[in-house]
Structure 1
């Protein structure tokens, strides 16, 4: 196995585990340094990582992993807000109407979206999932869609007018503007 293959396999393992992106990059740089040093003295990459590269990467990830995930409730609320905004805006645009009806299926869809986005490593693990996990996800997704269809469009829990959607959207736009201003201020102060 070449040095690049070892690094790629370790990176994939680390991305699938609960290691932050910054830590993954640090670990890759450190591993690359160790492997280059080994090659310079005539050793193979396997002499550094051992016979089982996946086990080596998993052990290193377990040592570096953040043990407590802080902010899950905050991320869940943010994802629920984003899903609600998307649902309302899409309802207005697709139905080309000034009023969107919120039904139980809408709430279930937002809850599903928020939980999947919060509690799965969706953006990093997507391509690394084994077939059984894709099969389970497909089956569960189909079951949820069938249940939402069977629940139907009644009863209407709430009717949201167009101005209500804009009012609901304003706090999110304000927070995004404040966050962007804070990032610009921090990055501006970090420059010499």
Structure 2
């Protein structure tokens, strides 16, 4: 019975750590390695008669976040965020191509200001990974993005440059490549876990 309780506790700790690593934005490959390593440490501890708390402490979420910060691959995380921001800008441009029914869309200072401010806020929110909460993030957008974008758009009139359709589609490519790389890592990690 004690082993079953330890297994439940082990699974609960693993579940909490997995959720926090996902929240922190740990890549699929790194998360799979961390899960395998933690599971091994926890099983060894239980086999020696130690509790799961002896390994992860009383707060598994704090343990997971500390370990993620210490081990996280920042370049991967920043690359994913940068490609997502490029995709966001590309989607905005594609939407404008669709609305205007044109292979080229004009970009004004107001468009640049609004898109830039939204990208900055998205980058900040992504790097904090939900620490602001949904409503605080909405208030930040309303207070700090929309008024300056409107003001800049009113001050500078006229088209700055034209963006062709191929450039808008091209902005999506880094995200597609990154997603394929992540998916490949996920399949590699699951194949390694099964063997």
Q: Could you tell me the TM-score, scaled by structure 1's length?
A: 0.63
Q: Please give the secondary structure, in 2, of the residue aligned with 1:121.
A: helix
Correspondence list, 1:114-133, <5 A: 114-116=119-121, 118=123, 120-121=125-126, 125=129, 129-130=130-131, 132-133=132-133
Give the direction of change, closer, same or farther, for the CA distance of 1:83–1:35 in structure 2 (3 Å limit).
Answer: closer
- Deviation string, structure 1 residues 44-91 (Cα, Å, up to 9, x no partner): 32232222323332332343234x647958964x55653443333211
After superposition, the C-alpha distances for 1:86-119 in whole angstroms (9 at most, x for unaligned) are 3332112123356533222210233234435555
C-alpha distance in 1 between matches for 2:135 and 2:44:
42
Q: Which runs of 5+ in 2 are unaligned?
A: 1-7, 189-195
TM-score, length-scaled by structure 2: 0.62
What is the CA–CA distance in structure 2 between the aligned matches of 1:71 and 1:41, rounded to whole Å?
A: 36
The residue that corresponds to 2:138 in the other structure is: 138
- The answer to whether the aligner puts 1:33 opposite 2:34 as a matched pair is no
- Who is 2:157 aligned against? 155
Q: 2:20 aligns with which of 13, 16, 24?
A: 13
Helix, strand or coil at the partner of 2:68:
helix
Map of 2:57 onto structure 1? 50
Number of residue pairs matched by the alignment? 174
Measured on the aligned residues, the alpha-carbon RMSD in Å equals: 4.2
> Gapped runs of 5+ residues in structure 1?
none
1:137: how far off? 0.9
Cα pair distance change 1:51/1:149, threshold 3 Å: same
CA distance in 2, matches of 1:48, 1:71: 27
Distance verdict in 2 for CA 1:104–1:74, change over 3 Å? farther
Is residue 101–residue 158 contact of structure 1 (8 Å, CA) maintained in 2? yes
Maintained 8 Å contact 1:11/1:24: yes
Output the CA distance in 2 between the equivalents of 1:135 and 1:175: 30
